[in-house]
Amino acid sequence: MTIRTLTSLRNYNMDFDLGVEFEEDLGPVDGRKCQTKVFWDGDQLVCEQRGEKQNRGWRHWLEGDRLHLRLTAEDVVCVQVFQKVK
């Protein structure tokens, strides 16, 4: 699977096999390396990262025309909701 994040500041590509842990180099994002595993939990795509921060990762899921993203790091949670443009 490939996830591409494209922004006006920087781009990041994440290539991986579902359910298989791999070393992720987040140098372009924040300079970290971590052990990452991405898998399906029902209808949610889940990423768990092991490294210098505990409880780090994210979840993506769709509800209608909205893409939900929940990011966690230690005890901090960030929730973003994206509306599909018609």
Tokens coding 46: 């889940």
- Distance, in Å, from the CA atom of 83 to the CA atom of 44, rounded to the nearest integer, reads 17
- Distance, in Å, from the CA atom of 15 to the CA atom of 56, rounded to the nearest integer, reads 19
Find the Cα–Cα–Cα–Cα dihedral 18, 21, 22, 24, rounded to 10°: 80
68: which strand partners?
A: 61, 81
Residue type at position 9: L
Question: What's the predicted TM-score (pTM) here?
Answer: 0.85
Tokens coding 63: 């509800």
pLDDT tens series, the chain, 86 aa: 998 888 888 888 889 999 999 999 887 677 788 999 999 999 999 999 998 889 999 999 999 999 999 999 999 999 999 998 88
Note the maximum CA span of the chain: 40
Domains and CATH numbers, the chain: 2-83 (2.40.128.20)
